[in-house]
Structure 1
């Protein structure tokens, strides 16, 4: 088969793809007139140029046609030629605008896919306007070709158009994109008779075409010249060497009409029915259930779980589907199969008609459970040898284990779009919330283990939002509080402090409803931190005081010491030095009771700083000397050296330069002994420590 001749609606392994679409062979049939017209449109002056105005945005070419007409293939062929000519060295960049089931993809997700392809960091939790603005900024100085596949309307395309006339946008859609000025439309129908016969010849060989060339042309007409229908029929013939072109033409004609008023869609529907009816019962059921594949992407494990068969049998069945033209594959070592966008609605209709809802739900549950186990295995391989997770991993079936962390990371990268889609679909389903929660938790852990929380933050934000949806629907206040705290932390990290504050207040309410002291205390601290970030020291001190009052009832001295330190810092910033000194002394006392000499030294150092701010340099000098002594007892050379330098600064301000020099010399000796540097250590207040 050739995916260039068939409508390749759907991502070739991912929603966003850098490079030409599709996989496998690059042979392309027909469409010479359309390609020539599209290339001519690129060179033709636009309306702005003709009117003497500066071209403000990228030019948009539209390839319009029904699913199965080869519109995506034509866009890919056009892109290949333009990129090969060197006109657009920063492309092509392809993104899907429609799910395989027909639902429109939110613009923020499309923008995020584009930013990933452009290697631009994506702020977690950013909205549509911010993300589309980042896309335009990233493309402002590039010469990129963008493929927007299967657009529903102009509202999906317009926010992503680069403000750069050196870029080119090629969009595919079923109809016009009304609302985008100066769009260059190219409406395509069926292939020519010669191209249709050429496609059949490539799949089944010359002999059967030469024997009956007229019937081959009739078969092309029977398929309406639609590439997707021709590919399906060619796959059916290739699997039956003894069948003639006349046989399949007759069978197509004998198929009863399905009553679909859309006559243009009938050739594809008839070809699909012919191929589907020839499948064994088990294979037909597997094909129908692939309508459940997240984002239209499946691998052998997905098919195995859906059909309830072995992974080997599932892989064989999927490869058979590829040969029949029912699926596409990327052909990589970690093979991933794609349900064509023109086939997906027919699969879903068959599944609804022939499979009981309970069986469909069971298949979906098996798929989610298999995905959870794969994610657990993906994360466990990052643990050290002999760890409990690795021992548990050894007990899993071989097909679920990853031999190396690198293999697991590559699987996670390649399956990431499908995994994220699986989490979204599981939560939207609403009937498998327990599995959905386990899936999201496993995906969060796997992403954090392989990519780190910073790199995975945009995905983690969306996953925490899914957890919140389930928690609210199921009235699980503890999980609701945890999700809100995680979302608030990500908002705070990206500078959306007021949004974070709102999240923290909601988390506090949820923690109180759950009677969870940890969540409640954590929420109060986070509220305090947000107020501190906003410079509202009075409210920050009030909330830290509430969090401290709760900790005092629990008898956790380490937490008490930490919160006393946070209070001391807030009071210092607010200029309330008396209260700050009291808090730092309380923190020092608790560190001393805990036997934490280094913590005791740091708290004393902060107390000395407050005394100095308050205009009591002699008391500050005395307290700082105590801090040096405790640092010496703790054996922390770098801390002792930093405190010696602070002592020197204090003595300088007191007019004792000779004594100050002695302490600087002592600090140098300590740093030389510890092979450190004066800038390698910094006294930090507890307000900056987690």
Structure 2
């Protein structure tokens, strides 16, 4: 949407619930058109987000005066500042960057250009900063934020900035680079002190004060013994001298609180693996992993571009394994740099084939494992492990991408509040990340380290028990979600699977579906893990529980993977019924994937097992799957035969939902065969069975098929009513494959009734939805769209 400027001289509007509209000054006449468009867009983002310039500055860590200059065209905005406002306002970043790239090529403002004029007086005080790394890569936004914060003019309080994050992320490198940038504006000198917070023996506060006082020029004989007196003397010594203090590798807030100057003319940078939650007045920069592009730049900058250009796939593999951790990338690059005879593939292969990639990420005195061990060891005091050590080990057993607080509580075998306390403590010291409230994850390499510790320090029985608790939590929670999504009877049993006290329940299908959307990757992971640990009752049951969701969202690869693991576990525990259920699931999944031979094999296996078990309803379900496979093989006669047999069994056993399902499918087949009156009969009979059951999903499917049959029958009024109702139901259900198919039929209706524009719009929306989920019906809809275009319709463009 194009931005708009409000001219005039009225007041700023900033009332609750209203937009903030700034009376912007006219833009300078010498700006090119693209720069004007970019600024107008940024002005609109600021106003629509209900932010004043001061609030915009606070939330992005830039000064309000910088935003005033950028948004009034007085100075070209930097890329880093553009990223910050895009993140804050959830704007379309690609669109903003496109506008940014098309502005006239003005040299982007460098950090030096944004600094005040360097004072003529040179520092005569201490200059203790380590060297700035020549191959430093990335962190432009964080660097600019840190520098601007240390040089904020007219300040009345001491600027204290904390650079926090897990070990190996380059906190010290960023702090040192920023300190070099701002050191000319601190004529009193720069102090640098390693507080050894990640070592077994952190520097005591009194010893740290002693070193800082000596470095600031205080004679040792004048330094008092009392810690509080030393802190007071440090504040007096630094007052009026405008000194920069860099406190590296701080253990926690308590270690640094007494080391801070009191004079606002000074500046402080602290680096720590601790989040420094207890430190008053600190502004934090949270470091995360480097982007893939910056990771690649760091790696190639050390080892040489030519080698990576020659072996791009292996280069990308190394980047992926290092997972954006600068320490890992630096070690990998250095190993290649000192081994010019190595191909990139050599290191890539070693990283992938070694039992642990951590073994290969070591060179001289740099080692990723050592870095992580120093963080781990902070949880062990005088050979006594804190409670968080156990939590960390158990979390290391989990192989999923993320874990929720209730699931973690089940894994840790703790009450919710106790689990949260330990997880938040681990988050505070950057051993665990919390991407959202009550959700937790590891950095990939740190997960490898913690997993190692878990397998070394926990007995196999303890490991198995922990994963069993977690898998049981997922089984019962997923069952509660599936019960709300699945309109038929439960086709599995949770007998023998302990119900955790914290198993989640749901109040409506919407809530259940959102939980599944969030947790589906973890369900695949826990099934795989349960199968591998021979927790066969869980591994065989889990895929049966959540197959309804996987079908709803058309997640076929996940469906095939979990059902195959489940089938192998069912065989291992010699459960004929579980085997039959999983054969049925696999038959359905293979049908959706378009593999009719595999679908038919699994359907026949399930039918034989159900006949042997004397289970008529599941026999009928297996017949449905067999009919699907025959239909896929274009043998519609066999498909209809098996469906009619299934209808007879469902009606004889008083299971209307199953009968309706088969009648719905019969109607679809007759539709495709041109047996329209027969199709209408089956589908109207199906609708009669479905309506009393209160099943919106079944109703939507039946109405869509019935609408299609009515359309072919020439009953256009009934067709439109049925298709429109189906569309509303599919939209409410958020079932995109079903809605897309229905939209395509609506497109046919509009084409048949002489509205090609509406037909085009419906076909295009249907095609987009189907391609998004990789549905095979996309090809058929694309053909409909192509036929419309070749018939003379020219408004749209393929």
What TM-score, normalized by structure 1, do the two folds share? Answer: 0.42
Structure scoring higher RCO (CA < 8 A, sep ≥ 6) equals 1
